[in-house]
Structure 1
Amino acid sequence: MVGLFWLDEGENSFGSANTNKIIFPENAPKKIGTIIKTDSILKFICEPEIIVKSDGVQVKDLELNIDLSGNPTILENGSFRWFIIKRGDKYGIRLRDLDAPLLSEFKSIERFFVNENWKINAKFVPYEKPKEIEVPTILGTVEKELSPGKIEFNFENKNYSLEPVAAGKNLFVIFADLTSGEETYGAGRFLYVAAPDSNNNLILDFNKAYNPPCAFTKYATCPLPPEGNKLRIKITAGEKNYGEGH
C-alpha cells in the first residue's frame, strides 16, 4: 500500500499533479479522474485520455462498491490499483502500487522458533448472547464488534483470557503481550483460532500469531487489541517485528 486518502463530500479529483484534491505518487498520471461522493454513493469519472480498467475492462464512469460490501470495485491504471474503504463514517481511497519498492525490498519476517509449549489446550466459554466489545483502531477511532465468548487458558500455572470476534466458523483474536513494542510489533498481533469442539475445547496456537498490515505500512487501518486482550505475559511465539514497524 502506498496511500490512503479520505474523501470529502462532492468532487475529489486525483492524480500526481498538485492541482488535484488528492495527490497520488509522482509516477501516476497527472490527473486520472474524479470520485464524486454523494452521501454513501460514490461514482468514478475517468479523464478522457486516461485508461482505467476494472476486472480487465476499460471504464469511463462507474458507481463504486466499497470494501465492506465484500466485493469492492478495484480500479487499475499501470501498476496502480485502488478501491474504496469505509471506516466509521469516513470513506477513503486505498492505493496500491505493484512496483512499490517495499515489494522488491521485502525481506523475510523473523519468527520465534516453533515451540509446542505455546500450543495450548484452551476452553471456550460462550456468552449467553454475543457481547459488544470496543475495538480501537490505528486511526484513533473505536469500532464496535461482537464477541461470542471468552477463550480461557492456563500457562505456567497462571490463568488468562481473550475475547475473540467471529471469523466465519472460526475465531479471530487481536492481542498484545509483554513482547509488544520489544521483540514483536508494538500495536499487537493477530491470531486465527479453529472453532471449538462440541465440548467447547479448542487449541490456542501462538506459533501462528502474525503481524497486522500496519506493521508494514502507515496506510493500513488496523484494529488494535481490545482492553481485555492485553496479556501480562511474554508470548515468545509467532512472528517478530518487521524492520522498525510503523
Structure 2
Amino acid sequence: MVNDLEIWQRERQAELAAPSSWLGLIGLFWLQQGVNRVGSDEGAEVVLPNGLPEQGTIVWEADALRWQPTGGQPQTLKTDFDGEPTMVEVGQLSLFVVDREGQLAVRVRDRDWARRTPFAGLAYFPFDTSWVVDAVWETIDPPLLMEVPNVSGDLKPVSVSHRAVFEHAGQAVALLPMSVGEHEVFFVFRDRTSGKESYGAGRFLKASAPENGRIRLDFNRAYNPPCAFTPFATCPLPPPENWLPFAIPAGEQKYVGKS
C-alpha cells in the first residue's frame, strides 16, 4: 500500500511540474457571445502579456466557437466539456476554452513557466493506516439536492443519492460525494487542518467505486485542488455537510509556493 502511495505521489509531482501544469496558468477571461479580441491590447477581451495588440479573435456564435488568427486561417475550437479542449498556441503561450455550466472562458497558460520558476514540490503528512477508512455506502432516499459553491461564488446543484458513513472517536461521520462514476467517487472535504497544515479551502479525495455496500476512503491520498496552485481555476468548495469537526493529518499538506 505504501509503495502504491509513493508511486501516486511521484506521478502527481510530475504532473504539477510539467509545462501543462496548473502552475503555468497566467489568466482566465470569460467570453461573451460574438467577437472576443485576443492580444496584448489592454482593451482586448482576452489580454495576453506580450505579442501583437491583436493576435486574433475568438468568435462565439450560438453553439459554434472558432479561432480567427490575424492574417491566418480560422480554426474550430472545442471546449473541455467532452474531454480535451483545442489548444491554440501563440508564442510560448497556450490558449484553450473551458465550459462551466454553459459559461465559456479562455485560460492562458505559459508553457515556459517551469524553466524560470521550477516547481517547489509537495509536502505530505506521514502515511497513517488509521486514515484508510472502510465506510458504509449508505443510500439517501429521497436523494438530497445540494447547491455546491465554487471559488467564483457560483452555485451548482448536485443530486446526492448516497453518502459514505464511518466512525471517528466514537461518533458517526458522513461524507457526501460531489460525483459518482462507474469506477470512481469524488469528494470535497474540509477538516481542522484546513488553513493551517493543509489548504484553507479544503481538499479533494477520490475513491474506487463501492463494493457490497462499502467504500474505502484513503485520506493519505487527499490532495489539493487546482485553486491551491493558481487563482485561475474554478474549484468546487466543500459543502457545509463535509466540514469535518476534527483534524485529518493525512495526505497533501499546504502548497508553499514556487521555488
1:108 shift after superposition: 1.2
Q: Aligned to 1:193, what secondary structure does the other structure show?
A: strand
Worse overlay, 155-164 or 33-42 = 33-42
The answer (yes or no) to whether the contact 1:45–1:62 under 8 Å persists in 2 is: yes
Equivalent residue pairs, number: 233
Pick aligned residue for 2:46 from 15, 19, 22: 22
Pick aligned residue for 2:216 from 189, 203, 211: 203
Q: Aligned to 1:197, what secondary structure does the other structure show?
A: coil
Please list every run of 5 or more consecutive structure 2 residues that lacks an aligned counterpart in the other structure: 1-24
The superposition leaves residues 50-96 of structure 1 with CA deviations (integer Å, 9 ceiling, x where unpaired) of xxxxxxxxxx2122221112242222223211211122342110111
Pick aligned residue for 2:192 from 151, 160, 178: 178
Pick aligned residue for 2:238 from 211, 216, 225: 225
Q: How does 1:106-117 map to 2 (within 5 A)?
A: 106-117=119-130
Q: Percent identity among equivalent residues?
A: 35
1:48–1:202 CA distance, 2 compared to 1 (3 A)? same
1:104 shift after superposition: 3.4
RMSD: 2.0
Q: What is the match of residue 56 of structure 1?
A: none
Q: What is the match of residue 3 of structure 2?
A: none
Q: Aligned to 1:177, what secondary structure does the other structure show?
A: coil
Q: Distance in 1 between matches of 2:91 and 2:143?
A: 45
Residue 133 of structure 1 pairs with residue 128 of structure 2? no
The superposition leaves residues 220-242 of structure 1 with CA deviations (integer Å, 9 ceiling, x where unpaired) of 11111112111111111111111
* Equivalent AA in structure 1 for residue 100 of structure 2: R
The answer (yes or no) to whether the contact 2:31–2:106 under 8 Å persists in 1 is: yes
Q: What is the match of residue 6 of structure 1?
A: 30
The answer (yes or no) to whether the contact 1:15–1:33 under 8 Å persists in 2 is: yes
Please list every run of 5 or more consecutive structure 1 residues that lacks an aligned counterpart in the other structure: 50-59
Q: What is the match of residue 55 of structure 1?
A: none
Q: Distance in 2 between matches of 1:150 and 1:66?
A: 31
Pick aligned residue for 1:100 from 109, 113, 120: 113
1:189 shift after superposition: 0.3
- Report the TM-score when normalising by structure 2: 0.83
Q: What is the match of residue 174 of structure 2?
A: 161
Q: What is the match of residue 40 of structure 1?
A: 63
The superposition leaves residues 112-163 of structure 1 with CA deviations (integer Å, 9 ceiling, x where unpaired) of 0001111111110123465432211011001122333000011221211001
- Report the TM-score when normalising by structure 1: 0.87
Higher helix share: 2
